[in-house]
């Protein structure tokens, strides 16, 4: 199951918004780390990544917790974005939906990691 999330990381590292957006379901939802808008649909998701990937971006998975059925996979945890060599700590939840043999991102929530209480 690591392969599904690692594929997203690999596509982010290409700096190609088209490759990243193709991982999302046509009606997918993105609540992105660097935006206060809901991005519903592949077109709006593409625009988010096109803007983000104008910077040098990398992702490092810190923790991953997976729950899976035959057609749904949920992956949650912590990751770091490295944007122009600055580390930005965040948390994430991906919901993947399986259609035939392909997994697509149905929902992706990412937010800055708050300070500890």
Reported as a pLDDT band with limits 50, 70 and 90, residue 13 is very high
* Token digits of residue 90: 């965040």
Give the model confidence (pLDDT) of 22-76 as tens digits: 999 999 999 999 999 999 999 999 999 999 999 999 999 999 999 999 999 999 9
* HSE value, Cβ hemisphere, 13 Å, CA-based, for 88: 16
Give the model confidence (pLDDT) of 81-109 as tens digits: 999 999 999 999 999 999 888 999 999 99
**Tokens 């982010």 sit on residue:** 12
The pLDDT value given to residue 2 = 55
**Average pLDDT value for the chain:** 95
- Asked: is 2-112 a CATH 3.40.50.200 domain? The reply is no
Residue extents of the structural domains in the chain: 2-112
The pLDDT value given to residue 99 = 87
* HSE value, Cβ hemisphere, 13 Å, CA-based, for 43: 0
pTM of the predicted model as reported, rounded to 2 decimal places: 0.93
Residue among 18, 10, 24 nearest 108 (CA): 24
């Amino acid at each position: 199951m690591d392969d599904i999330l690692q594929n997203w990381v690999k596509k982010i590292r290409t700096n190609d918004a088209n490759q990243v957006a193709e991982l999302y379901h046509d009606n997918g939802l993105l609540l992105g780390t660097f935006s206060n808008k809901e991005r519903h649909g592949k077109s709006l998701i593409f625009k988010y990544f096109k803007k983000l990937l104008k910077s040098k971006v990398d992702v490092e998975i810190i923790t991953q917790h997976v729950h899976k059925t035959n057609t749904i996979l949920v992956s949650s945890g912590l990751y770091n974005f490295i944007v122009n060599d600055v580390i930005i700590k965040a948390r994430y939840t991906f919901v993947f939906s399986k259609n035939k043999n392909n997994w697509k991102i149905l929902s992706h929530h990412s937010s800055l990691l708050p300070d500890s209480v």
